[in-house]
């Protein structure tokens, strides 16, 4: 009986829902498309969106209005059709809203904060549908406001839990169904529109019991995931209580899962869900709601079969629809994200996508490229312990063959970034000695430049063979402290014979940082520069660092002020989050890292393991213009580095 009502309601109104979504502007349409799949994966027995919240194993979120109108014997009419249609749409909007909020709150999921626009649209649209049915002075709106306030308070408490809260209380404290409020609002609206508010309080209680029963099962299925994320739920607290295990600090996931097995808590937890279904069924019978009664009876029978299967170890019988697993396996998010990222980063040993490749006719050639960004990626990968020696050898070989020019063109200038990354990668190559000899002439020329200028230049001039480049090319980005820091990080470890160059260059940069802070950077994102500057300051201040440098503390202090200011604002993108995390690590200020930044990085990873490229440096484009250089490989490497620390 309930099944027919469910199918009939869906087949009548689903096209309206499809049309509603199809009319959305592109950004919201993209969000709702993902939401459709999320709902289907989590709440549809077939995996199809049209079947969400169907069958005896799911909260009948979308069927509440139809079933109530059937059970209250509201006769078929155009008016009833209008009520059913609008409340079916409102149900879906409210359930979708609840699912989106749950997704945004899940640190291991992929629902990003920008879905707040969708939450807003779903809320407005749901109440808009109800408002067409119920006059604004009706008592329903007070009921709706109370339910919405209670739900908002639940969300606020979950989003900002009291760190001193008593965790020894009843497991029920942690039992919150996101679908309770949608069901109760729609039920209240259906009762109001049928003029049958008299039994509303008991019907809402029945719905509470029902939604709690399904939530217990949902929480049981997600138990490993919640444990990995450090979240508490009804089953977790239930098991901890059974074995008197403290929940502060959080026990390891395996301990709670093992305790659940040892104490036979699964059956008890499932039984607590079944008891709620029985309560709801009794209420349905008392309230003369036969459709609800029949559904709850079937849902309870399914649960009984599950418990019997648990005792016998038997799977579902042949011909019986596949039930969702009682416990869903969950993979820890960070190790999985790192594995995916490694797969992406190592797929092409040349890292070609990261090359700064110009096809606008730079230097009179159809294609000119700088491989410098690939060097930054290699540096990150080898620092994280990946074996990229072959790729480093190839990168260094090319750099030598290209005579340390930034671009692969004879008229390109030689630059400090290229020399710096060459020197930093050199210790990680297979054959270091040959590369040392290759760098000697360019280091001699660099040293002359540094002594003459009293600082480290971005572009190195008057070296043998570079005259052609200097006569006809406008070189951009001079006086960049980050480029100087990149170079110093490479030469600081060289033998003492370069000590004078290090001292001159480092002193000049320290003075500049002490004076203007991160504004000493010209060419890179400020957060990236902050990390590089901190890394350099730590190395200069190390016991084996260069002697007789002044102003290290002033520079560190200026950078710390900048870092403390930076952490007070929320990073907007994955790369910004990663750069902020890296800067905190380089500053040895892990205490400043907000776990929300890691979540932000994790949530923006794509299915191929990458993070989409974000602006990293300005690059010439079409003659006398510049545009942002961005690389998916480089952004991925930075995000990978931040997650791996």
Partner 1 sequence: MNDQDTAQDPSKFYAMLGRALTDSSFRQRLTNADREVQRGALVEAGITGNDAIIDQLNMAIDAIDKLAGTGGTFAANVKAVT
329 vs 543 by CB, closer to partner 1 = 329
Rounded least distance, CB 93 to partner 1, Å: 23
Query: Binding to partner 1 by residue 264, rule CB under 8 A?
Result: yes
Binding segment for partner 1 (CB under 8 A), chosen from 310-318, 451-459, 473-481, 499-507, is 310-318
128 vs 316 by CB, closer to partner 1 = 316
511-514 long-range contacts, Cβ below 8 Å, gap at least 24?
511/550, 511/551, 512/455, 512/481, 513/481, 513/537, 513/555, 513/558, 513/559, 514/551, 514/554, 514/555, 514/558
Convert residues 311-330 into a mask of x (bound to partner 1 by CB under 8 A) and - (unbound): xxxxxx-----xxxxxxxx-
* Cβ atoms of 340 and 601 closer than 8 Å: no
Q: Which of 62, 76, 58, 57 is nearest to 7 (CA)?
A: 62
3 vs 257 by CB, closer to partner 1 = 257
CA dihedral 292, 298, 302, 303 (to 10 degrees): 40
Binding segment for partner 1 (CB under 8 A), chosen from 115-123, 309-317, 348-356, 390-398, is 309-317
Binding segment for partner 1 (CB under 8 A), chosen from 104-112, 178-186, 243-251, 431-439, is 243-251
What single string gives the DSSP state of each residue in 79-126?
A: HHHHHHHHHHHHHHHHHHHHHHHHHHH-TTS---GGGHHHHHHHHHHH
Q: Out of 90, 93, 256, 520, which residue is the one contacting partner 1 (CB under 8 A)?
A: 256
Q: Which of 260, 265, 264, 267 is nearest to 308 (CA)?
A: 267
337 vs 345 by CB, closer to partner 1 = 337
The count of residues interacting with partner 1 (CB under 8 A) is 36
Distance between CA atoms of residues 346 and 481, nearest Å = 31
CA dihedral 312, 317, 321, 325 (to 10 degrees): 20
Rounded least distance, CB 242 to partner 1, Å: 11
Task: Spell out the residues 6+ positions from residue 188 whose beta carbon is closer than 8 angstroms to its own.
Answer: 140, 143, 144, 147, 197, 200, 204
Rounded least distance, CB 264 to partner 1, Å: 7
Distance between CA atoms of residues 217 and 214, nearest Å = 5
289 vs 303 by CB, closer to partner 1 = 303
Dihedral pair phi/psi, residue 455, rounded to 5°: -160, 175
255 vs 473 by CB, closer to partner 1 = 255
DSSP 8-state assignment for residue 323: P
Q: Out of 156, 157, 165, 262, which residue is the one contacting partner 1 (CB under 8 A)?
A: 262
Q: Out of 4, 7, 37, 335, which residue is the one contacting partner 1 (CB under 8 A)?
A: 37
Distance between CA atoms of residues 590 and 291, nearest Å = 57
Rounded least distance, CB 231 to partner 1, Å: 17
Query: Binding to partner 1 by residue 310, rule CB under 8 A?
Result: yes
Q: Out of 245, 347, 383, 431, which residue is the one contacting partner 1 (CB under 8 A)?
A: 245
Q: Out of 107, 258, 290, 545, which residue is the one contacting partner 1 (CB under 8 A)?
A: 258
On the 0-12 / 13-18 / 19+ scale of CB atoms within 10 A, 386 is middle
Both structure tokens of 123: 């809320």
Q: Out of 4, 11, 47, 452, which residue is the one contacting partner 1 (CB under 8 A)?
A: 47
47 vs 230 by CB, closer to partner 1 = 47
Both structure tokens of 174: 């942690």
Site residues for partner 1, 208-237, by CB under 8 A, read 224
Beta strands 459-460 and 414-415: pairing type?
antiparallel
Query: Binding to partner 1 by residue 252, rule CB under 8 A?
Result: yes
Distance between CA atoms of residues 34 and 14, nearest Å = 18
Site residues for partner 1, 509-568, by CB under 8 A, read none
257 vs 287 by CB, closer to partner 1 = 257
Q: Out of 266, 469, 489, 501, which residue is the one contacting partner 1 (CB under 8 A)?
A: 266
Query: Binding to partner 1 by residue 460, rule CB under 8 A?
Result: no
* CA angle in degrees (0–180, nearest 5) for 164-177-93: 125
Query: Binding to partner 1 by residue 347, rule CB under 8 A?
Result: no
Q: Out of 309, 465, 615, 620, which residue is the one contacting partner 1 (CB under 8 A)?
A: 309
Rounded least distance, CB 188 to partner 1, Å: 34
Convert residues 367-406 into a mask of x (bound to partner 1 by CB under 8 A) and - (unbound): ----------------------------------------
616 membership: H or E segment, kind and range: strand 615-621
190 vs 256 by CB, closer to partner 1 = 256
Query: Binding to partner 1 by residue 626, rule CB under 8 A?
Result: no
Number of other CB atoms surrounding residue 161 within 10 Å: 12
Rounded least distance, CB 183 to partner 1, Å: 25
Binding segment for partner 1 (CB under 8 A), chosen from 7-15, 24-32, 248-256, 383-391, is 248-256
Query: Binding to partner 1 by residue 257, rule CB under 8 A?
Result: yes
Where does residue 264 fall: left (phi above 0), alpha (psi -120 to 50 degrees), or beta otherwise?
left
Rounded least distance, CB 261 to partner 1, Å: 5
Structure-token match 């191929």, residue found: 608
309 vs 465 by CB, closer to partner 1 = 309
Query: Binding to partner 1 by residue 343, rule CB under 8 A?
Result: no
Query: Binding to partner 1 by residue 28, rule CB under 8 A?
Result: no
Query: Binding to partner 1 by residue 41, rule CB under 8 A?
Result: yes
Query: Binding to partner 1 by residue 33, rule CB under 8 A?
Result: no
Q: Out of 86, 115, 226, 306, which residue is the one contacting partner 1 (CB under 8 A)?
A: 306
Both structure tokens of 323: 């039930």
DSSP 8-state assignment for residue 23: T
Give how far the C-alpha of residue 631 lies from the chain's centroid of Cα atoms, to the nearest Å. 19
Rounded least distance, CB 163 to partner 1, Å: 23
- CA 316, 322, 324, 325 dihedral sign is positive
- Residues at the interface with partner 1 (CB under 8 A): 37, 41, 47, 224, 243, 245, 251-259, 261-262, 264, 266, 306, 309-316, 322-329
């Amino acid at each position: 009986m309930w099944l027919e009502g469910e199918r009939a309601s869906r087949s009548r109104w689903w096209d309206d829902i499809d049309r509603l979504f199809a009319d959305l502007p592109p950004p919201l349409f993209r969000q709702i498309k993902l939401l459709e799949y999320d709902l289907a994966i989590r709440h549809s027995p077939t995996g199809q969106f049209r079947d969400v919240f169907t069958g005896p194993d799911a909260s009948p979120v979308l069927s509440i209005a139809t079933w109530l109108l059937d059970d209250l014997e509201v006769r078929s009419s155009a008016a009833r059709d209008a009520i059913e249609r609008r409340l079916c749409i409102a149900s879906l909007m409210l359930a979708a809203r609840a699912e989106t909020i749950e997704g945004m709150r899940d640190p291991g999921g992929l629902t990003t904060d920008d879905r707040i626009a969708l939450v807003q649209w779903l809320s407005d649209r749901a109440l808009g549908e109800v408002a067409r049915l119920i006059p604004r002075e009706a008592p329903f709106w007070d009921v709706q406001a109370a339910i919405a306030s209670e739900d908002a308070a639940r969300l606020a408490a979950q989003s900002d839990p009291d760190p001193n809260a008593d965790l020894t209380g009843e497991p029920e404290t942690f039992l919150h169904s996101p679908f309770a409020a949608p069901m109760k609002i729609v039920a209240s609206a259906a009762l109001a529109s049928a003029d049958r508010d008299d039994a509303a309080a008991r019907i809402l209680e029945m719905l509470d019991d029902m939604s709690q029963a399904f939530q217990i099962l949902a929480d049981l299925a997600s138990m490993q995931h919640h444990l990995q994320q450090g979240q508490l739920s009804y089953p977790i607290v239930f098991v901890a209580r059974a074995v008197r295990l403290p929940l502060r600090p959080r026990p390891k996931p395996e301990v709670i899962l093992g305790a659940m097995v040892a104490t036979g808590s699964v059956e008890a937890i499932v039984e607590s869900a079944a008891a709620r279904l029985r309560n709801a069924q009794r209420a349905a019978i008392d309230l003369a709601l036969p459709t609800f009664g029949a559904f709850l009876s079937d849902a309870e029978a399914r649960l009984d079969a599950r418990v019997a299967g648990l005792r016998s170890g038997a799977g579902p019988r042949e011909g019986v629809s596949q039930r969702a697993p009682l416990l869903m396996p969950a993979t820890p998010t960070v190790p999985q994200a790192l594995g995916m990222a490694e797969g992406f980063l190592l797929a092409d040993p040349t890292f070609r996508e990261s090359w700064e490749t110009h096809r606008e006719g730079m230097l009179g050639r159809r294609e000119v490229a700088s491989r410098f960004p690939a060097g930054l990626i290699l540096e990150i990968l080898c620092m994280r312990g990946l074996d990229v020696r072959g790729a480093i050898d190839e990168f260094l070989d090319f750099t030598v063959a290209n005579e340390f020019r930034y671009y692969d063109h004879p008229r390109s200038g030689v630059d400090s970034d290229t020399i710096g990354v060459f020197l930093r990668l050199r210790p990680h190559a297979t054959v270091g000695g040959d590369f040392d000899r290759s760098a000697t002439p360019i280091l001699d020329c660099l040293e002359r430049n540094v002594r003459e200028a009293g600082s480290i230049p971005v572009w190195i001039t008057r070296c043998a063979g570079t005259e052609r480049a200097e006569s006809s090319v406008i070189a951009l980005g001079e006086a960049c402290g980050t480029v100087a820091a990149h170079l110093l990080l490479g030469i600081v470890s060289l033998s003492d014979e370069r000590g004078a160059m290090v001292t001159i260059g480092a002193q000049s940069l320290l003075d500049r940082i002490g004076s203007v802070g991160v504004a000493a950077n010209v060419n890179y994102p400020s957060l990236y520069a902050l990390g590089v500057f901190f890394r350099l300051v730590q190395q200069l201040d190390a016991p084996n660092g260069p002697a007789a440098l002044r102003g290290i503390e002033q520079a560190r202090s200026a950078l710390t002020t900048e870092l403390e200011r930076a952490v007070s604002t929320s990073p907007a993108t994955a790369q910004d989050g990663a750069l902020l995390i890296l800067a905190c690590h380089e500053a040895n200020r892990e205490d400043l890292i907000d776990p929300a930044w890691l979540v932000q990085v994790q949530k923006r990873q794509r299915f191929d393991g990458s993070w989409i490229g974000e602006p990293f440096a300005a690059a010439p484009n079409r003659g006398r213009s510049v545009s942002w250089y961005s690389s998916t490989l480089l952004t991925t490497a930075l995000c990978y580095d931040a997650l791996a620390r």
